[in-house]
Structure 1
Amino acid sequence: MAGSERTKMAAGEWYTCLDDELEALRVIARDALFEHNSLPPRQRGNLGPGLKALLGNAGEGARIEAPFHCAYGFNIFLGDGVFLNAGCTILDTASVRIGKGTLLGPNVQIYCAEHHREAAGRQAGLEIAKPVEIGANAWIGGSAVILGGVSIGEGAIVGAGAVVTRDVAANTTVVGNPARAIKGR
């Protein structure tokens, strides 16, 4: 496949993360994250200035508590009033869209990158990027893990510690590993 590794990543094709251009983009993100995570809270506000400039979009009132980690930042799109609690990690090799009013508890992890299944492919840095979409007014409990390629519907609840490996319908509550729907909602 022709094209840069960044182009392949954006197209959802296999690419190698061991690439100078991608590393340069990760360095830019690390600098913005260092600023965000180091600024005194009153000076930082909802988002450190470098992180706010880096994100694909940060809606009005979107807030990310420190510490926060992401891979690139430019693939993260936050709706109005989105809140990410302390310790969240978003490995945004693909688009991560979080709808307005959605809350992420502490230490939530979103992983868009899927590594190659063969050892030789992993050693070569091969991975494929899969997007994540979380609808408006969802609630993602602390320490939940959301894998790439997953959509979580509007108003859904993901229980603390759940591992979400497939789509979650709107207004559904899921818990466990792998996450499964429960009744009562």
Structure 2
Amino acid sequence: MNQKERMLAGLPYKAWLDGLAEEQLKTKMKIYNYNLYRPDETEKIDKSIRDILGKAGTNVTFLAPFHCDYGKHIEVGNNFTANYNCVILDVSKVIIGDNVLFGPNVSIFTAGHPLHPDSRNSGYEYGIGITIGNNVWIGGNTVVNPGVHIGENAVIGSGSVVTKDIPANVIAVGNPCRILREITEADRQYYHKDKKFDVEDYNS
């Protein structure tokens, strides 16, 4: 098994061997160009992000600047928006469902390093995939760590550090991120805390 195969298998690997550094450089050049497009160059922006990502549905937006390692290990569903300064370290698969929102400065880290300094100084690192279900909202300045699964309809509060799986249909917040409560039908009529919608079409 070469280092790339080890990386994709979730095994310890060395990131500068077997063409991995060259692959990252190619992606960095694509990202560099992506982040320099004018905001009104929408066709170029859309074409560029689809060239970077492994899979992209309809209506996919990453507000510049955006950064990732390989790009092609990222799969994004329909109606996705990442606000400014999204960082995805995709040494392993990152799978994101439909209707997902990222606030500013959201970081998705599949990459990690050994805890013991001797092991860490050997140069070995690892990647464990992350999955994010449909209809998830991740608040700004949130970090999602390797191996995490976030269930559909979940809301992750701003500033959270997600170290463990989060089930569907809950609000979870904090460092480390913990479940605050379930999302219920009663939440439908509110747009923020105790503020009710004053329009009807929100429920369509």
Interval containing the TM-score (normalised by the shorter chain): over 0.9
Report the equivalent of 1:102: 100
Q: In the alignment, is the contact (CA less than 8 A) between 1:93 and 1:112 conserved in 2?
A: yes
The residue type paired with residue 35 of structure 1 is: N
> How large is the RMSD of aligned CA atoms in angstroms?
1.4
Deviation at 1:44? Answer: 4.1
In the superposition, relative to structure 1, how do residues 71 and 156 fare at CA in structure 2: closer, same or farther (>3 Å)? Answer: same
Percent of pairs with identical residues:
37
Partners in 2 of 1:42 and 1:123 — Cα distance? Answer: 45
**Unmatched runs of 5 consecutive residues or more in structure 1:** none
Q: Which of these residues, 33, 37, 43, is aligned with residue 31 of structure 2? A: 33
Q: Cα deviations across residues 120-160 of structure 1 (Å, max 9, x unaligned)?
A: 33223211110000000100000000001000000000000
The residue aligned with 2:20 is 22
Larger Rg: 2
SS at match of 1:126: coil
CA distance, structure 2, for counterparts of residue 131 and residue 51 of structure 1: 21
Determine which of 62, 65, 68 is the counterpart of 1:67.
65
Q: What SS does the corresponding residue of 1:182 show, helix, strand or coil?
A: strand
Could you list the runs of 5+ residues in structure 2 that have no partner in the other structure? Answer: 184-204
Over residues 6-26 of structure 1, what are the superposed CA-to-partner deviations in whole Å (9 max), with x where a residue is unaligned?
100011111011325111111
Match of 1:114 in 2: 112
Runs of 4+ in structure 1 over 4 Å off: none
Aligned pairs for 1:126-137 within 5 A: 126-137=124-135
TM-score relative to the length of structure 2 = 0.86
Tell me the equivalent position of 2:55: 57
* Secondary structure class of the residue paired with 2:134: coil
Question: Of the two structures, which has the highest relative contact order with CA contacts closer than 8 Å and spacing of 6 or more?
Answer: 1
What residue is the counterpart of 2:79 in the other structure?
A: 81
Between Structure 1 and Structure 2, how many residues are aligned? Answer: 183
User: What is the distance in 1 between the residues matched to 2:24 and 2:9?
Assistant: 18
Deviation track 1:69-96 (CA, whole Å, cap 9, x = no partner) reads 0011010000001111110000001100
* Matched-pair contact (CA < 8 Å) for 2:75–2:95: yes
**Deviation by residue 1:41-63 (Cα, 9 ceiling, x = unmatched):** 11145845333112110111011
Moved more, 133-142 or 118-127: 118-127
The CA distance in 2 between the partners of 1:20 and 1:69, in whole Å, is: 22
Give the superposition deviation at 1:110. Answer: 0.6
Q: Structure 2: how far apart are the matches of 1:184 and 1:149? A: 23
**Using the alignment, how far apart are the partners of 2:119 and 2:45 within structure 1?**
37
Mapped partners of 2:43, 2:119: distance in 1: 42
CA contact (8 A) 1:13 1:129 kept: yes
Q: Which moved more, 1:76-85 or 1:122-131?
A: 122-131
